[in-house]
Amino acid sequence: MNVYDQAHQLATAIKQSEEFKQFDDRKKKLAENPELESAMKDFMQKQFQMQTAQLTGQQMDQNLMMELQRLSAILMQDPTTAEYLQCQLRFSMMMTDVYKIIGEVSDIGMGSLADMVKM
């Protein structure tokens, strides 16, 4: 059994999953509206900044948190962006599960990736 062939099969299975298909469909639908797409990108960039700060142990920027909450409330009111975010969450959860399964075999005595991030 060739690991690379199996990896390509996994990639194909992911692309054929309902989670991926729905996420990809909503992403294309979002791209049809440049204003919504721009707002979503802004939201995701701010969300990434906050997650990065959390992972590196930095103090949370209250203004950024309030801005994220405000943007989230606005985006969830629009059906296109709300569906996109829901599909993105389902796809992310599936990918997290896949990473966990693969990660179980790659433990080389250093603990899990989550444990390493806490260091």
Q: Mind listing the pLDDT tens digit for each residue in 67-81?
A: 999 999 999 999 999
pLDDT (average), residues 98-104:
90
Q: What is the pTM of this model?
A: 0.78
Is a pLDDT exceeding 80 seen at residue 15?
yes
Q: How far apart are CA 88 and CA 92, in angstroms?
A: 6
CA nearest neighbour of 29 among 74, 79, 66, 67: 79
pLDDT at 53: 87
pLDDT at 119: 46
Mean pLDDT of all residues in the chain? 89
